[in-house]
């Protein structure tokens, strides 16, 4: 006790003690409020961080379509006489495709095929008609334009085979366009079953670089490994699903394979037969010529025999 405390009366000492106690309680309340503000501020920062993280995840998952491959300005690659591809510049990111000019007024038939490399019915169409189409294209009687799309991406046990296979096709179109017809043939000769994991990227690269005359093999392998055109595949697939199909009266895409001859849709009987498709080609060509102001004689492409395909599964419809 200090000298000043001794000089205070009992009541004065009691009042001083109460004042000290009040000051101590006020300090304690200030410390509690400060702690609460710090805690609330910290929680607020955590919430902000979580929100920012979620936004970044969503933003990163929505990737814009990248540049497309060369020689596929229409979202497809057109193959002409002697299997030489029509060259076109690559689409820049965000560019709209440019429909291929038709040749319906000439003596060349336009065949357009929309396909998915996992689609079993596409494989059956190819088995029945690929040799016939090859004969037409080789001789110059027809062109064929392939549009690889990915509507069965969710039908390969999580490996996204349809998208990866269409990306591989885009890589071949970009680096070795004159080998595309052989690549397309080989892809269906080694087609995996729907609902399986499909081929891995190494196997796709083996197919792409194993066809005759392929160029820039190492660039194709890198393109397949990096899935360079994967976002373009998704974008081009959406364009097909949104419709309409260029150079035709098809407003709504019904599934793969979709085959057009001079803009007219082939509606096949199942199982596929080459005889039926051959007759459709000649008829469609004749209709185009009769409608043309520069009508000439209807071409009659010579058939190449091909065995009928086995009975196919129900018709493909686009994946949801």
- pLDDT value of position 106: 76
Domain count, the chain: 2
Task: Indicate whether 71 belongs to any domain.
Answer: no
Per the structure, the complete domain to which residue 277 belongs is given by: 77-291
The answer to whether residues 122 and 201 belong to one domain is yes
The answer to whether residues 122 and 198 belong to one domain is yes
* Strand blocks (E) in 57-152: 77-79, 109-115, 142-148
The answer to whether residues 135 and 209 belong to one domain is yes
Task: Indicate whether 300 belongs to any domain.
Answer: no
Q: Where is pLDDT greater, at 255 or 32? A: 255
Chain segment 176-189, per-residue pLDDT in tens: 999 999 999 999 99
The answer to whether residues 116 and 257 belong to one domain is yes
The CATH number of residue 245's host domain is: 3.40.30.10
Chain segment 39-48, per-residue pLDDT in tens: 555 544 434 4
Select the highest-mean-pLDDT range: 24-33, 35-44, 252-261, 310-319: 252-261
- pLDDT value of position 3: 52
Task: Indicate whether 249 belongs to any domain.
Answer: yes
Chain segment 82-129, per-residue pLDDT in tens: 999 999 999 998 899 999 999 766 789 999 999 999 999 999 999 999
Chain segment 24-63, per-residue pLDDT in tens: 666 676 666 655 654 555 544 434 444 334 333 333 334 4
Q: Which residues of 192-202 are buried (b: 16+ CB within 10 A; e: fewer)?
A: bebeeebbebe
Band of pLDDT at residue 316, cut at 50, 70 and 90: very low
- pTM score over 0.85: no
148 forms bridges with which residues in the sheet? 115
- pLDDT value of position 50: 41
- pLDDT value of position 1: 53
* Beta-carbon contacts of residue 199 (< 8 Å; ≥ 6 apart): 161, 165, 190, 192, 207
């Amino acid at each position: 006790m200090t000298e000043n405390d001794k000089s205070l009366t009992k009541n004065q000492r009691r009042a001083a003690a109460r004042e000290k106690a009040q000051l101590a309680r006020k300090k304690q309340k200030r410390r509690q409020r400060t702690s609460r503000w710090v805690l609330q501020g910290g929680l607020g920062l955590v919430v902000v961080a979580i929100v920012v993280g979620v936004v970044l995840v969503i933003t990163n998952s929505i990737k814009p379509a990248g540049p497309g491959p060369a020689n596929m300005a229409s979202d497809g690659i057109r193959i002409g006489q002697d299997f030489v591809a029509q060259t076109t510049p690559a689409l820049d990111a965000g560019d709209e495709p440019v429909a291929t000019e038709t040749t319906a007024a000439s003596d060349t038939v336009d065949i357009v095929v929309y396909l998915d490399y996992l689609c079993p019915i596409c494989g059956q169409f190819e088995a029945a008609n690929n040799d016939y189409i090859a004969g037409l294209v080789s001789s110059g009687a027809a062109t064929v334009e392939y549009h690889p799309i990915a509507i069965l991406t969710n039908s390969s046990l999580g490996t996204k085979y349809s998208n990866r296979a269409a990306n591989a096709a885009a890589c071949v179109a970009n680096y070795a366009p004159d080998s595309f017809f052989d690549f397309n043939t080989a892809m269906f000769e080694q087609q995996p079953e729907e609902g399986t994991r499909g081929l891995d990227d190494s196997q796709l690269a083996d197919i792409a670089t194993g066809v005759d005359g392929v160029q820039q093999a190492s660039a194709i392998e890198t393109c397949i490994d990096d899935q360079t055109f994967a976002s373009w595949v998704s974008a081009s697939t959406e364009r097909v699903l949104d419709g309409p199909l260029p150079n035709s009266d098809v407003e709504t895409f019904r599934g793969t394979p979709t085959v057009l001859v001079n803009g007219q849709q082939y509606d096949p009987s199942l199982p596929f037969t080459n005889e039926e498709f051959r007759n459709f080609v000649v008829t469609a060509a004749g209709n185009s010529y009769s409608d043309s102001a520069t009508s000439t004689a209807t071409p009659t492409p010579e058939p190449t025999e091909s065995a009928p395909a086995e009975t196919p599964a129900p018709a493909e419809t686009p994946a949801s």
